């Protein structure tokens, strides 16, 4: 069942009210406060409280709580169906970080200390929904007003603790259209080479969120500017510029600007399409396969990405192509993405790349709009037919069936009888 934003918010108010009525302090915390102040609908709500995990479970009953994050002081409280669930966390501060990613342990603490363990000032706010009051220990309200992403406390130390924050900083900056506070930016650049301690799944997830967002070109450019890009996507490094050991050419290069323009033109692309658009000007299908494996992309994402990169030029000249050659591309699951990729690549021509013409794209779109049975009719002959004819199973099977299929698609044969005729002729050749 989809969540109802209104019910979600009401439940988040109820959770605070219930904790308060049991004598605990409780506020909305972090991202939901930020989103609300920005006039955006929060995806979900987090509540921070003085209640300890076992006390939270007692207040909301064991039946309605899940202690998944209990060792970090987090209890999930399950609401009525359309309201979803809320993470309720005890105010805490993080002890030491020895792995550059997660605190070794947490200690229960005060709201102020809890605000200071958070990553950026815009994420460090509390909100009291009962009194409509923002509680700001970190200057987050000012930074939200000015549109600045700033680390809480000493930036290098904060990135040292948790290197995922390097990517989160870039993501918040670009997706909100904010600017990056200069000392925070400098610390990111200083720490960029250490992004490798973050798990590939988390890196891929941040990249997924950035590349799927409208601001994807800005994200990629900012990642480049702060030196994260060559760490995350080393396959882009060698491309383009023998002198550049650290990144794809220089940021001002024509090829780089063209790549950004291409990304900008995509409209609500799925992740594999956006990633393909970024890779295509610089790498081949083998590199795309390597990346998909390194990032542990799902089979589906991986297949789409590799196919798109591999087939990037396959629709060039589609207008003149025999239907038997175009059809297999257009009946592929990712045909629409391939057309979208080609369309944006064609709008930003690069000297060394053949581009699709308007007529190529128009034919693809026209054909794709036809009923499925028309563009992908059942084959006139199959392997079973060959067996029935007593033709011994052989390597030639595949070739003969393909020839019959092509002839069918190209309108050279219309009936099963004609198809069998053709098969016999090919066998005798
Ligand atoms: P979004 O959900 O839109 O990505 P968010 O700010 O809600 O943004 P979450 O990952 O849901 O991000 O985390 C909720 C809050 O927890 C953040 O607002 C922040 O206060 C804190 N937080 C999350 N990740 C970190 C981190 N790596 N370091 C420090 N604080 C963090
Ligand atoms: Mg969130």
pLDDT score, position 388: 87
Q: Going by CA atoms, what residue is nearest to atom 30 of ligand 1?
A: 118
Q: Going by CA atoms, what residue is nearest to atom 25 of ligand 1?
A: 119
Mutate which of 123, 127, 207 for ligand 1? The one with the most ligand atoms within 8 Å of its CB, which is: 123
Q: If you measure from the C-alpha of residue 265 to the centroid of ligand 2, how many angstroms do you get, rounded to a whole number? A: 28
Task: Quote the CA–CA distance of 198 and 167 in Å, as a whole number.
Answer: 10
- Which residues 6+ apart lie within 8 Å of 288 measured at CB? 235, 276, 279, 305, 306, 309, 310
Q: If you measure from the C-alpha of residue 114 to the centroid of ligand 1, how many angstroms do you get, rounded to a whole number? A: 12
pLDDT score, position 248: 56
Task: Quote the CA–CA distance of 398 and 379 in Å, as a whole number.
Answer: 13
The CA-based dihedral angle spanning residues 12, 18, 24, 25, taken in that order and rounded to the nearest 10 degrees: 30
CATH architecture of 1-146: 2-Layer Sandwich (3.30)
pLDDT score, position 2: 86
pLDDT score, position 247: 45
Distances, alpha carbon 412 to alpha carbons 258, 418, 419, in Å:
43, 9, 9
pLDDT score, position 166: 98
pLDDT score, position 242: 47
Q: Rounded to 5 degrees, what are φ and ψ at 128?
A: -95, 105
What residue segments make up the domains of the chain, in order of their start? Answer: 1-146, 377-428
Q: If you measure from the C-alpha of residue 323 to the centroid of ligand 2, how many angstroms do you get, rounded to a whole number? A: 48
At residue 127, the 3 state secondary structure works out as: strand
Reported as a single tens digit per residue, the pLDDT across 10-19 is 999 999 999 9
- Which residues make beta-bridge pairs with 136? 125
pLDDT score, position 280: 92
pLDDT score, position 193: 97
Give me the residues of the chain with pLDDT under 70, please.
238-252, 351
- Which residues 6+ apart lie within 8 Å of 43 measured at CB? 31, 35
């Amino acid at each position: 069942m989809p969540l109802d934003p209104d019910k979600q918010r009401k439940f988040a108010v109820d959770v605070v009210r219930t904790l308060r009525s049991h004598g605990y302090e409780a506020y909305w915390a972090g991202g939901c406060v930020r989103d609300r102040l920005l006039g955006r609908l929060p995806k979900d709500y987090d509540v921070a409280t003085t209640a300890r995990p076992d006390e939270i479970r007692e207040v909301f009953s064991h039946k309605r709580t899940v202690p998944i994050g209990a060792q970090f002081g987090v209890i999930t409280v399950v609401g009525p169906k359309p309201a979803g669930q809320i993470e309720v966390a005890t105010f805490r501060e993080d002890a030491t970080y020895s792995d550059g990613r997660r605190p070794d342990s947490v200690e229960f603490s005060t709201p102020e200390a809890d605000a200071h363990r958070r990553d950026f000032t815009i994420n460090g706010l509390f909100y009291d929904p009962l009194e409509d009051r923002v509680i700001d220990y970190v200057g987050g309200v000012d930074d939200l007003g000015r549109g600045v992403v700033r680390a809480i406390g000493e930036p290098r130390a904060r990135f040292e603790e948790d290197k995922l924050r390097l990517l989160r900083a870039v993501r918040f900056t670009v997706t909100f259209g904010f600017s990056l506070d200069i000392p925070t930016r400098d610390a990111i650049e200083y720490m960029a080479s250490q992004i490798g301690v973050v798990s590939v799944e988390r890196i891929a997830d941040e990249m997924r969120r950035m590349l799927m967002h409208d601001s994807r070109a800005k994200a990629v450019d900012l990642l480049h500017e702060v030196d994260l890009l060559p760490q995350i996507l080393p396959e882009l490094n060698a491309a383009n510029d023998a002198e550049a050991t650290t990144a794809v050419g220089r940021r001002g290069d024509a090829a780089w600007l063209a790549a950004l323009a291409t990304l900008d033109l995509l409209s609500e692309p799925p992740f594999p399409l956006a990633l393909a658009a970024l890779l295509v000007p610089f790498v081949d299908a083998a590199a795309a396969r390597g990346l998909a494996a390194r990032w542990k992309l799902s089979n589906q994402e991986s297949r789409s990405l590799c196919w798109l990169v591999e087939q990037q030029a396959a629709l060039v000249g589609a207008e003149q192509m025999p239907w038997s050659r175009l059809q297999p591309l257009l009946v592929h699951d990712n045909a629409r993405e391939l057309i979208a990729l080609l369309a944006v690549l064609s709008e930003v021509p690069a000297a060394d790349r053949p581009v699709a013409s308007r007529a190529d794209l128009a034919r693809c779109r026209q054909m794709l709009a036809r009923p499925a049975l028309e563009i992908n009719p059942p084959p006139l002959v199959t392997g079973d037919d060959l067996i029935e004819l007593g033709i011994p199973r052989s390597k030639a099977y595949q070739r003969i069936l393909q020839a019959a299929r092509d002839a069918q698609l190209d309108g050279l044969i219309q009936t099963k009888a004609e198809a069998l005729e053709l098969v016999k002729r090919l066998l005798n050749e």
